[in-house]
Amino acid sequence: MKTLKTVEPLTTRLLEIQRINSAASLLSWDQETYMPAGGGEARAEQISTLQGIAHQKLVSPEIEGLLAAWIAPQTGAIQDSPGDAWDAPSRALLREVWRDYSRAKKLPSDFVITLSRECSLAQQVWAEAKKASNFALFLPNLRTILSLKQQEAHYLGYKDSPYDALLDAYEPGSTVATLRLLFAQVKARLVPLLQKIQNSQTLVDDSALFRSYDTAQQMEFGRLVLVAMGYDFERGRLDLSSHPFTTSFHPTDVRVTTRVFEHDLQSCLFSCIHEGGHGLYEQGLDTRYFGMPIGESVSLGIHESQSRMWENCVGRSRPFWRFFYPLLQQTFPQQLGSLDGDQFYAAINRVKPSLIRVEADELTYNLHIMLRFEIEQDLIEGRTSPENLPRIWNQKMQDYLGIVPSNDGEGVLQDVHWSFGAFGYFPTYTLGNLYSVQFYEQAKLEMPQLEASIEAGQLLELRRWLEQKIHRWGRMFTPDHLAQRVTGKSLDPEPFLSYVEKKYSEIYKL
């Protein structure tokens, strides 16, 4: 039997590449948290240099030669010897290394370095433009990034749409065609539900959530919840950034960020829970496989399922707040003392079309994603010019959500993703929503006492289940294979749609 020991010359080189990438990620994390404003240009050169080195090492003749000993060079088929097959981890490793290598081989190293540098610079300009609500400030950088991403799609190749080539980096196997069908199914059920809610006579008052809340106390409560979830602060941090994110350099060094506003209780709280879900995934990866693809998360859709499950299925549920709401009331007695648990539950689940995606309710959140999905396709396929984005964005917000941003900061500039070249990323958020409920319903089937445990503040049972079922497997399986292993079927929107219909019918007495 051939094992990982057989491919040790390969895994040794992969580990070196991973350490270089980890160093670049650390510089990126610092850029978003503590780097002084004047360090931007130098940081862009540092990050792009490291990523260029990592790319050159991955596509080197040494890696190519090692792979050729075990994989058919043109097809990626693993070469088995009679009576001497590969075990499952080594077979998965070779499959995933081939995927990464063959994709990277299509991209010239000079292009990789240029893209990295431009994205690092663009992120800093985006932050300034967002703060000033000045899209024109960011437009030159966006033009450059868009041109480079179109060029990347050309290098990678595609069958139907250049956007498919970019999607595949975040959700392997996903295409525009499959997503359009899936999103149409979701939209067909969400839009009528939203209309029913808007026509409902039941009013939900969430004004208490926008009183004055001490920001330091908000952060402390966020930490308390993260600890209860099982986020290990011996192997992680919580910091502030302009856009919440999670980054990992190793399962023993995983960092989450949040943002906090005095007059918005939900922003810090739910971004802590959301990013904590991402953080638990990274901390739950098998350290034995660090440096190998099988030691990485399988896809961003699956990754997002973890954060959305914790944020929504758990963090916006009645059982969760039966335990945590008294603690929150003790933290903010003046603001919440007169608000009972049912009123608070309704307030945090109020459906109201909003301008900001990350603060949207569970129902309208997916409409934000569909809007961005359409815009990204049009940009990559050349049907839309970036200078027209504010107008197009505002029109689609009107069409999808019935509201229009008053400025670019709360409109087209609100998300950081385009500044770092993440075209094809947004659809994974809706995929994550769908996966999250499918996984959570399975967890409840296998652990009938789960919600009783959550009501008692015992969240580690769910965390352990997720670690065993999803986290520790890394990229051992494809996203579809993993979903079938965990739930017995491929991605299915029905559990999510039934969940939101039941939940909001109860809250709004539909």
Residues with a catalytic annotation lie at 275
For residue 205, count other CB atoms closer than 10 A to its CB.
11
Find, among 247, 283, 253, 295, the residue nearest to 93 by Cα. 295
Mapped onto helix, strand or coil, the DSSP state of residue 337 is: coil
Token digits for 314? 């758990």
Other C-beta atoms closer than 10 Å to the C-beta of 395 total: 12
User: Whole-angstrom Cα distance, residue 305 to residue 328?
Assistant: 26
Question: What contacts 63, CB < 8 A, 6 or more positions away?
Answer: 10, 13, 57, 101
Alpha carbons within 13 angstroms on the beta-carbon side of residue 190 total 25
The dihedral of CA 128, 132, 133, 137: what is its sign?
negative
| SS3 per-residue string spanning 442-484 | HHHHHCCCHHHHHHCCCCHHHHHHHHHHCHHHCCCCCHHHHHH
d(CA 225, CA 219): 10
Tokens 């600890």 -> residue: 227
